[in-house]
Structure 1
Amino acid sequence: MTLETKKSVFVELRKFLSQFSEKKSDRKSDVLNNDIFFDDFENLIHLSQSHNGWYTPEQVYFAINSWAEALTDENLDKWLSQYSFDTTENEKTVALILAGNIPLVGFHDFLSVLITGNKASIKTSSNDQHLLPFLAKYLIAADETLKDKITFVEGKLENFDAVIATGSNNTARYFEYYFKDKPSIIRKNRNSVAVLNGKESKEELEALGEDIFRYFGLGCRNVSKIFVPKDYSFDGFFEAMFKYQDVIHYEKYANNYDYNKAVFLMSNFKLLDNGFLTIKEDSSYASPISSVFYEFYENIEDLQSRLEADSEQIQCIVSNNLIKNSITFGQTQKPQLWDYADNVDTITFLLTTK
């Protein structure tokens, strides 16, 4: 199976995914196997919240649309052109232990394993057991040779050559011990931050709200902490966040908001609160759901040095070009194919592991 053939299968998947929209899905006559998969996928999207209360149709549609935008011919070519693919493939079985905090969070690892000509032995999270297996069925229907490349495992993972595992800091310690004799990528908890200087426009701050509230803040790319200069006024920040007030209508989010606010207040922490989001001064990077931590800075160069020193705790940084290698507001949950989790190049790992 050539690289071009592999790419073409994922382009077919892109055509399939691009039909689905929160406003109105649009069935196209020229999409492969629509008669088999279209209705079932639409139903699955709307059933996802019954499988995982955080997977509202809005969030699932967003994840699907993000992958539809990513899997273009141009993006695949740009991503893969920097690598040297051996025409005589050294096929490996790669165990994938996936997280389930946001919809399809493990899809990039799945894509990377297959595009490099390897087999994927997949253990899904109990929180996300349906979306990826469905897309795998679509890919197999598009190219039957993938049937022997994709296995979903319910019990113990066995007979694999390498592993990519994602989990909490606690589970990562278990993974590191259990897989110590295998080539591995082990991912731990990370959080994302934003750096503000008080000159951001309302539009930029509203875009920052997307970075905070998308997927209810459950992703490692969600902004959980902001750095602001001394004497920063939060009035403009809260005004911009008002756009996302409807988040409080989701029961699971509202329960977290009530609980975490109560815990903070009982501990006599000083809070700023707008009725659906609390912000609290705190040196930690990981804030609970419905809360964002903040910290003051005096010197942007010193802050740059600190963020570099803490890089293993940070997934991405959002700013208006204040910090080196930061990304623009509103883009944290729209990573490109070449934006690797934890800055670990998965393709290089897969191509060089023997």
Structure 2
Amino acid sequence: MTDVALRSKAFVKLGTFLREFCEYSKKPIDLVGINEHWFPEFNAKIDLSGHKNGWHTRENVLFSLENWGRQLTESNINNWLKEYDLTTISPKQVAIIMAGNIPLVGFHDFLSTLITGNNILIKASTNDNVLLPFLAKYLVHIEPSFKKAIVFVEGQLQNYDCVIATGSNNTARYFEHYFGGKPNIIRRNRNSVAILTGKESAEQLHALGEDIFRYFGLGCRSVSKLFVPVGYNFDAFFKAIYPYKTIIEGVKYSNNYDYNKAVYLMSEFKILDNGFLLLKENKSYASPIGTVFYEPYDSMENLMNLLESDKEKLQCIVGNGILKTEIPFGQTQTPSLNDYADGVDTVEFLLRT
């Protein structure tokens, strides 16, 4: 078996572990064998992650784990990697600075680096530094050759060949200054939008709620803005997303919702409010938690021109039969293995660096 096959097989086993764990978490059973130790420990890590970061609820962590479990299958991995020549790679030290806005947000970089035969130096965010070390520990358990390839760094990064860093627009300027002398991928703020025409079904609008509310809207793939026709009536939208009303029961979300509502009302901004989501007309893409911006368009041609000019600011565009690159309603938070952040092919970067 080749090195590539060994690494792929290890991640396939990790995918099986994640799928089995998610089933176990829904209906705990008496455990015998390898999972007798690993499942309870992982449960404890998920609890710890939630204690350290209140945005990382068990529901959202399990959602992330379920998605990765679906992706890490033999057929998915083989289809993903068949476009690349992984036979001639010379192992590099890859420094990865991870964000922590949503659970396991840096896992794709982790996967891409290791499966291509590189070594990884991980600078984890303090907001998400519990789950990935556990998964790395399990990965080493099933494939010991990974042990020397994975290093978590607490202090300053040293002795690396290239860098993948994810952060805000402000931190990106620091990253460019500090890592500019090395080959790098530096990711900045991006947001996701949805294009509504008024012809969407109730099911599509309900699915849009998943794009908006999953991870409390904290991810770059979370829809933070709606483009709507001039004169659009939001009644059908509000009715379709009403089942997501329980999100307001989250203390951190409700605090943000209440604060932003108070600011808008004191500033006498015009808002639409259904008790758990605020809609505000605004040309910006980045909306606060508990708020989604909207902007009317007068023609699809003008809207397409705007989106093209702002493409560097956008991660996902949700729609129905509008763009070739659009994402269907309800699917922004379940990217496949070849959905690269910012449209930059991480594997290709690692192969040519």
Range into which the TM-score falls when normalised by the shorter chain:
over 0.9
Q: 2:243 maps to what in 1? A: 243
User: Residue type matched to 2:80 in 1?
Assistant: W
Would you say 1:163 and 2:158 are equivalent positions? no
What SS does structure 1 have at the residue aligned with 2:26?
coil
Count of residue correspondences: 350
Q: How does 1:142-221 map to 2 (within 5 A)?
A: 142-221=142-221
Is 2:100 the partner of 1:97? Answer: no
**Counterpart position of 1:280:** 280
1:60 match: 61
CA offset at residue 323 of structure 1? 2.6
Q: 1:24 is aligned with what amino acid?
A: K
Q: How does 1:12-23 map to 2 (within 5 A)?
A: 12-21=13-22, 23=26
- The change in CA–CA distance for 1:95 and 1:261 in structure 2 (over 3 A counts) is same
Paired residues of 1:19 and 1:26 also in contact (CA < 8 A): no
TM-score, normalisation: structure 1: 0.96
In structure 2, how many angstroms separate the alpha carbons of the residues matched to 1:29 and 1:156?
42
SS of residue matched to 2:21: coil
Shift of 1:86: 2.6
Measured after TM superposition, the shift of residue 27 of structure 1 is 7.2
**What does 1:68-83 align with in structure 2 at a 5 Å threshold?**
68-83=69-84
Q: Which shows bigger deviation, 99-108 or 314-323? A: 314-323
Q: 1:288 to 1:238 in 2, by over 3 A?
A: same
Alpha-carbon RMSD: 1.3
The residue identity in structure 2 corresponding to 1:108 is: H
Counterpart contact for 1:20–1:26, Cα < 8 Å: no
Aligned residue for 2:307, secondary structure, equals helix
1:335 alignment counterpart: 335
* Deviation (angstroms), 1:3: 0.9
Mapping for residues 288-307 of structure 1, pairs under 5 Å = 288-307=288-307
What is the CA distance between 1:46 and its match in structure 2?
2.6
- 1:24 aligned partner: 27
Partner residue of 2:8?
7
AA matched with 2:10: V
In 2: Cα distance, 1:26 partner to 1:77 partner: 32
> Is the 2:48–2:130 Cα contact (8 Å) retained in structure 1?
no
What letter matches 1:81 in structure 2? K
Identity of aligned residues (%): 58
Q: Distance in 2 between matches of 1:308 and 1:2?
A: 42
Deviation of the 1:163 alpha carbon: 0.3
C-alpha distance 222-26 of structure 1, shift in aligned 2 (>3 A): farther
3-state secondary structure, aligned to 1:330: coil
1:25 positional shift: 4.7
Q: 1: distance between equivalents of 2:76 and 2:38? A: 25
Q: How many Å separate the matches in 2 of 1:38 and 1:210?
A: 28
Partner amino acid, structure 2, of 1:349 = F
Aligned counterpart, 1:347? 347
Instruction: Provide closer, same or farther for how the CA distance between residues 315 and 27 of structure 1 changes in structure 2, counting only shifts above 3 A.
Output: farther
Structure 1 CA distance for aligned equivalents of residues 233 and 152 of structure 2? 51
Quick one: distance in 2 between partners of 1:19 and 1:203? Answer: 30
SS class of match (2:121): strand
- Determine the C-alpha separation between the residues in 2 that align with 1:178 and 1:26: 50
Where 1:349 maps in the other structure, the secondary structure is: helix
Conservation of the 8 A alpha-carbon contact between 2:205 and 2:237: yes
- Give per-residue Cα distances to partners, 1:73-98, cap 9 Å, x unaligned: 111011100011134x3110000000
Is contact 1:208-1:330 (8 Å) kept?
Answer: yes
Q: Secondary structure at the match of 2:329?
A: coil
TM-score by length of 2: 0.97
Compared CA separation, residues 285 and 308, structure 1 to 2 (3 A): same
